[in-house]
Amino acid sequence: MESELGFWAFSKIVVLPRLLGGMYITLQLTLISGALGLMLGMVLALFRISRFSILKWFSLLYITLFRGTPLLLQILFIYFALPTILERYEINMVLDSFSAGVLALTLNSAAYLAEIFRAGILSIPKGQTEAARALGLSRHQTMYKIIIPQTYRRIIPPVVNELSALTKETSLVSVISLSELLYVTQRIGSKYLRVWEVYIWAALGYLIIVMVLSLIAARVEKRLEFKGGV
Amino acid sequence: MKKNEVILSVSHLSKQFGSNLVLKDISIEVNQGEVIVIIGPSGSGKSTLLRCLNYLEVPTSGEIHLHGMNLHPKSSESEIDAFRKNIGMVFQSFNLFPHLTVLENITIAPIQVLKISKAEAIARATLLLKNVGLSEKINAYPRDLSGGQQQRVAIARALAMQPDVMLFDEATSALDPELVGEVLKVMKDLALSGMTMVIVTHEMDFARDVSDRVIFMDKGLIVEQGTPQEIFQTPREQRTIDFIKRT
């Protein structure tokens, strides 16, 4: 019966209510993994430029691993393989598909974000560190009060790039049956056999999230410009 | 003003970059309130020497004493940090923190390092800004200032730590000619106030006018030192004579 509805009616009655649910999950995936990825990425970046070679090597190994293998594989690995490995060591960890998705997306995006942060830190002229240290500020104070705040504005564009990529990559989590936007779309599409109507709405859903994200970023960038222009 | 009391002393300091020996067994004693100007051709090691004085450059060997404190190549990071609290430095390229206002640039180190209260730090900064003639720029950001104004803020920033010694590394070399005067004036006022200063500069008139002692360096060595009178009017070493003639 629903398959006889026109485009707008079908969209309004069948597609949109369900897609909104999926979009909500997608948004949650993006925001949670994005936030955690930013934090982990900063830690990894600081490790990467650390004086201690063990931290440096750990970070390098991590980044190589997560950038060098497909995200799809990482998602499948964490959802299917990780629990069986942990079981061997008698650790019972049940990861539902949402947590597994968040974990994979966080670990993956952190690798890319770490390199963005590292590049940002290295782009600050050496004179800034020298001036801070000459004033008696410690290595830590110099990093957190002087160097990192200066990187904010210049890393916004690449960070937004990465977060947009992340938004779209959340669709890969559909392979572990998490009912995010793409998964829901596929289900409706095959149920009603009205494929193009559904996919167009799904595309629009991703587009909206990314555009809102870019808009917020542009605002923040503008705000920082007023503050000293760095 | 001169108490003939040694405040900063450098003994047998050498610095090697790779196989290149840039400072060769340098020893200097700086008296309380003394203004020392270091001159010399580029590559003579004068900037490296200045940067060794607060360990921005770690010497290969030798020691530095600043009342009670003693730095040597094996000194720990916290010893170096403590030492630096007492030595202010002004750079050729100002190096103000662009994300902070003029006031924040001046107060950050006293608040973070000396742990003084914010109100006290602001009071200090306000007074210092008045002394360098920039009271009205207190809430400006560095990018809104001219080079001369930025350098004057940088001087105030270093002074806010109330250091025993101030180092100036070619503080006017990056300035447009018409802005040099305002910075030199601030430096001169500071010298007159009794601050102990070690200055690397190409401004020979300033050196003649303000310094108590001039040190001429070449190829990593102190070739000659004496009063400005001695160095500029009656230099003894041939290298000094050649250098003075050229400038």
Residue A207 in contact with partner chain B when CB distance is under 8 A: no
The reported pTM is 0.88
- Rounded to an integer, the average pLDDT of B54-61 is 95
Question: Of the candidates A137, A139, A149, which has its C-beta nearest B109's C-beta?
Answer: A137
> pLDDT tens across B191-219, in order?
999 999 999 999 999 999 999 999 999 99
Strands B165-169 and B20-31: unpaired
> pLDDT tens across A27-73, in order?
999 999 999 999 999 999 999 999 999 999 999 999 999 999 999 99
* DSSP structure string for chain B: -----EEEEEEEEEEEETTEEEEEEEEEEEETT-EEEEE--TTSSHHHHHHHHTTSS--SEEEEEETTEEE-TT--HHHHHHHHTTEEEE-TT----TTS-HHHHHHHHHHHTS---HHHHHHHHHHHHHHTT-GGGTT--GGGS-HHHHHHHHHHHHHTT--SEEEEESTTTTS-HHHHHHHHHHHHHHHHTT-EEEEE-S-HHHHHHH-SEEEEEETTEEEEEE-HHHHHHS--SHHHHHHHHH-
**How far does A147 lie from chain B, in Å, by closest CA?**
9
Q: With cut-offs at 50, 70 and 90, classify the pLDDT of residue B225.
A: very high
Of B170, B167, B132, B127, the residue nearest B153 (C-alpha): B132
Taking CB atoms and an 8 Å limit, are A228 and B101 in contact across chains?
yes
CATH, domain A2-229, list 3.30.379.10, 2.30.40.10, 1.10.3720.10, 3.20.20.10: 1.10.3720.10
d(CA B25, CA A148): 39
Contacts A227 to B, Cβ<8 Å: 99, 141
d(CA A109, CA A156): 15
| Residue A216, both tokens | 């917020």
Helix (H) or strand (E) holding A227: none
pLDDT in tens, chain A (230 residues): 566 788 888 888 888 888 888 899 999 999 999 999 999 999 999 999 999 999 999 999 999 999 999 999 999 999 999 988 888 888 887 789 999 999 999 999 999 999 999 999 999 999 999 999 999 999 999 999 999 999 998 899 999 999 999 999 999 999 898 888 898 888 888 888 888 888 998 999 999 999 999 999 889 888 887 666 66
Collapse the DSSP code of A52 into the 3-class scheme (helix H, G, I; strand E, B; otherwise coil) and give the result: coil
Residue A1 near residue A10 (C-beta atoms within 8 A) = no
Question: Of the candidates B54, B101, B141, which has its C-beta nearest A134's C-beta?
Answer: B54
Residue B59 near residue B11 (C-beta atoms within 8 A) = no
Residue B173 near residue B148 (C-beta atoms within 8 A) = no
DSSP code of A51?
Answer: S
| Residue B32, both tokens | 């309380």
Q: Residues 33-92, chain A: which have Cβ within 8 Å of B?
A: none
- Whether B2 has a pLDDT exceeding 70, the answer reads no
> pLDDT tens across B135-173, in order?
999 999 999 999 999 999 999 999 999 999 999 999 999
Q: Residues 107-136, chain B: which have Cβ within 8 Å of A?
A: 108-109, 112-114
pLDDT of residue B1: 46
pLDDT of residue A1: 58
d(CA A74, CA A176): 12
For chain A, give every domain's residue range. Answer: 2-229
Contacts A130 to B, Cβ<8 Å: 56, 91, 95
Of B71, B136, A210, the residue nearest B145 (C-alpha): B136
Q: How many CB atoms lie within 10 A of CB A156?
A: 17
Name the packing angle between helices A16-48 and A97-122 (round to 10°): 40
d(CA A101, CA B11): 63
Taking CB atoms and an 8 Å limit, are B98 and A145 in contact across chains?
no
pLDDT of residue A228: 61
